[in-house]
Copies of this chain bind each other. A is one copy, B any other.
Amino acid sequence: MSNLHRSWVESANRAETDFPLNNLPYGMVSRPGEAPRCGVAIGDQVLDLAGLEAQGLLSFGGVLGTAGWNAFMALGPEAWQRLRAELTALLSEGAAQRETVAPHLIPLSDVALHMPFAVTEYTDFYAGRHHATNVGTMFRGAENALPPNWLHIPIGYNGRASSVVVSGTEITRPHGQLKGPQDAAPRFGPSQRFDIELEMGAIVGQPSTGPLSVDEAFANIFGYVLLNDWSARDIQAWEYQPLGPFQAKATATTISPWIVTAAALEPFRAATPAREVALLPHLQDTGPMLYDIDLQVGLAPDGGAETIIARTNYKEMYYSAAQQLAHHASSGCPMRVGDLLGSGTISGPARENRGSLLELSWGGKEPFQLDTGETRSFIADGDTLSLYGAALGEGYRIGFGPCTGRVGPARA
């Protein structure tokens, strides 16, 4: 773990900031009435990169003025390294260009945050062993908790890219076909078991057209976001056999607004857990490719204080994003810049580590307590659900900024 890199932006040197010089996460920001532009968060400020490029302090062919980080990602790893090195130099304590750069800082409190990139396609995995075991135990019993393929394949399904929204977007409780085990027939109505899934999202930054090794896949991942895979458990229960979840997962998926780069997370690399059965060669670990990222889930009832309802860590996953991407490409499936890979729900071994309400309330059978005195099994109208994440260094943190959504009532 490296130490804090000090910046002349004083707020970036505080231990509690999500955005020290070590982080440099990329987002899309706008001031009122202006179009979104590429920015990097530093302390309580955002640096306007389109402005810096216009002034000649950066030179990336104008891609920093485009509507999302996709065009920059497409430039490739050499450009990724160069921008990070140049921003580090421009923002370091004692930088010669301080006076030229400072006018391009905007207080974070003055900007709106937009989708940091256009999601080309979205794939969601099911690669956390604690989550898969919990859900499997609830639905199939402890003996058959893990499906037979689970220890061999990072199980995933294609999600819906059009439904991915940035933190802060209001979520409408979905309608869907519902049929309880005792019901004679299905009905169409608002989901009664609306839930979250705490995940990390990995962003593919380079295209590929054939199979990828795990190392190649790792090199193609540009960065990470927090990801909340909103899930209607009752819609899912009725629809998912035999072809998997569809409308249960199509209402929305919320991501945090800053892309934290793989480069920023490099000091926090962590290994996957010991394997019960060896993976086939094309999926085997070639080094630590998870990250040590502390994660929390908060739930705030309408107008009430927030309770942290779960705490876990990204390093609990059984498969890394690189292994997921290698599997994804194994059939020859073309991958493109801006593809988003959800990790799967990140639960840990203990009760307080569970990354979904389904697990926290054990299928609704054991409602859990909020600090306000209320209880929950699933989401109530007006609840705000937030994910938080940070890799913790010596005296600094690589934070993601919150991934938040308030759930409004179903359409009339």
Q: Which residues on A are within 8 Å of B, measured CB to CB?
A: 120-121, 126, 147, 149, 152-153, 155-163, 172, 174-177, 179, 185-188, 210-211, 232, 235, 238-248, 250-252, 277, 280-282, 327-328, 330-336, 339, 411
Q: A126-B242, A152-B177, A152-B185 are in contact. List 4 more A-B contacts (CB 8 A).
A: A157-B158, A158-B160, A160-B333, A244-B244
**Min C-beta distance of A268 to chain B, whole Å:** 29
Asked if B331 and A250 make an inter-chain contact with CB atoms under 8 angstroms apart, the answer reads yes
Among B163, B252, B277, B331, the residue within 8 A (CB) of A232 is: B331
Q: Copies per complex?
A: 2
Query: Do A243 and B281 have beta carbons less than 8 Å apart?
Result: no
- Max chain B C-beta neighbours (<10 A), residue from A121, A187, A280: A121
**In whole angstroms, what is the CA distance A159 to B281 when docked?**
27
Are B153 and A239 interface neighbours, CB within 8 A?
yes
Q: Which residues on B sit within 8 Å (CB–CB) of A158?
A: 157-160, 246
Closest chain B CB from A135 CB (angstroms): 9
Q: Which residues from B are CB-within-8-Å of A157? A: 157-158, 243-244, 246
A336: chain B residues at CB < 8 Å are 162
Kindly identify which residue among B174, B210, B243, B277 contacts A331, using a CB–CB cutoff of 8 Å: B174
Question: How far in angstroms is the closest Cβ of chain B from A45?
Answer: 33
* Minimal Cβ-Cβ distance residue in B for A209: B162
Q: Is the CB of A172 within 8 A of B332?
A: yes
Interface pair B333/A163, CB less than 8 Å apart = yes
Closest Cβ–Cβ distance, residue A177 to chain B (whole Å): 6
Interface centre among A179, A235, A333 (most CB of B within 10 A): A333
Contact A121 B161 (CB under 8 A): yes
Ordered by A's residue number, 20 sampled pairs between the chains whose C-beta atoms are within 8 Å are: A153-B177, A153-B239, A157-B158, A158-B159, A160-B333, A163-B333, A163-B334, A175-B330, A175-B331, A185-B277, A188-B281, A188-B282, A211-B411, A235-B331, A240-B243, A242-B244, A243-B244, A247-B330, A250-B332, A252-B332
Question: Which B residue sits closest to A171, measured CB to CB?
Answer: B332
Q: How far is the CA of A18 from the CA of B174 in the complex (A)?
A: 44
Closest B residue, CB atoms, query A188: B280
Q: Is the CB of B251 within 8 A of A162?
A: no
Residue with the greatest number of chain B CB neighbours at <10 A, chosen from A159, A232, A245, A247:
A247
Q: Do the beta carbons of B251 and A331 come within 8 Å of each other?
A: yes
* Chain B residues with CB below 8 A from A332, complex form: 172, 174-175, 250-252, 411
A152-B186, A162-B121, A333-B162 known; A247-B126 Cβ under 8 A: no
Inter-chain contact A335/B162, CB cutoff 8 Å: yes
Q: Which residue of B lies closest to A152 (CB)?
A: B186
Which of chain B's residues have a CB closer than 8 A to the CB of A242? 126, 147, 155, 240, 244
A25 to chain B, nearest CB (A): 26
Query: How far, in Å, is A205 (CB) from chain B's closest CB?
Result: 15
Among residues of B, the one whose C-beta sits closest to the C-beta of A248 is B331
A244 contacts which chain B residues (CB < 8 A)?
A: 157, 240, 242-245
B334 touches A176 (CB 8 A): no
Decide if B240 touches A176 in the complex (CB within 8 Å): no
